Amino acid sequence: MIRLVVNADDLGLHPRIDEGILEAHREGVLTSATVLARGPNAAEAVQRAKAQGLALGLHLCLTTRLLPAAPAQSVPTVAPGGAMRQGWSQVVADGARGKLSLDEVDREFRAQLALLRALGAEPDHLDGHQHLHLFPGIRGVVANLARESGLPLRWPREVPTPSWLSRPGPAVKTAILAGLSLLPPRGVRRVRGWGVYDAGALSEARLLALLDGLPDGDHEIGCHPGKDPGDVPEEPGWHYGWEVELSALKSPRARAKVQERGIQLTTYAALSG
């Protein structure tokens, strides 16, 4: 049996992205989304998602120049200057130089979880914005939070295919994350994640290939549907194929492939039940 969560990241970051995520749930195969609790549109996005029955998780964040959920003065190495760093590479580099306190990371992640609940959502899983929950040090903080809260984790672990040769940058990133995933935390429920290589470029053809290749077991396909927002203020220069992914998730061929393979579309809460 194949049970599959199809999860959209970045809910709450931008109204246009949120609109596409909600449409992918109403009209496509999307079953879940993870919320950036400090995203500018998070409060509205959570209410709209709840109104249409979209399952929600927490997209733990240390980047994207978002304001921290914890008081800024209590997390100065997480939010230097009052806001979080721009990208994952800065977090990793500063962590390696001892400029990121894991106690502060723990404080911030707990504050993000509390904030999401205060917004009215009871999350059914955790994952990491830009997959930072896989990196040494941060991984231990997230594992402790997952154990204490009883929430499962997305655990990306993709294997190379010939298609990776066409996009070496994403291929290298996906391989690194797959390597990091070889050291899983103990006592935490993990669901194998797919879609890292295809992030921002999950076309109908790529989605069908992922669906066709799923082995028996529990899985998540991560995705990034949306209506094209133009420039995202928190992520200058960031351009994903949001509408390409939205079209793929709404594709009748994707729905037919799910039925053909007997895939059970579900949520993290149902997997844990």
Per-residue model confidence as pLDDT tens digits over 217-237? 999 999 999 999 988 888 888
What is the per-residue pLDDT across 129-170, written as a single tens digit (0 to 9) for each?
Answer: 999 999 999 999 999 999 999 999 999 988 878 788 788 888
Number of domain units in the chain: 1
Q: Could you read off the pLDDT of 71-124 as tens digits, one per residue?
A: 999 999 999 999 999 999 999 999 999 999 999 999 999 999 999 999 999 999
CA atoms within a 13 Å half-sphere pointing along the CA-CB vector of 57: 32
Of 200, 205, 208, nearest to 226 (Cα)? Answer: 200
174, 178, 179, 184 alpha-carbon torsion, rounded to 10°: 150
Which structural domain, as residue segments, surrounds residue 41? 2-272
pLDDT digits (tens, 9 = 90+) for 192-210: 999 999 999 999 999 999 9
CB of 191 within 8 A of CB of 153? yes
Query: Each residue of 34-69: pLDDT tens digit?
Result: 999 999 999 999 999 999 999 999 999 999 999 999
Mean pLDDT of the chain: 95
Supply the pLDDT for residue 168: 87
- Decide: 30 and 24 in contact? Cβ < 8 Å: yes
**Which residues have CB under 8 Å from 258's CB, separation 6+?**
4, 29, 211, 265
Q: What is the pLDDT of residue 160?
A: 79
CATH number of the domain at 255, please.
Answer: 3.20.20.370
Determine the pLDDT at residue 98: 94
Determine the pLDDT at residue 80. Answer: 96
Q: Is pLDDT of 266 > 80?
A: yes
8 and 224 Cβ atoms separated by less than 8 Å: yes
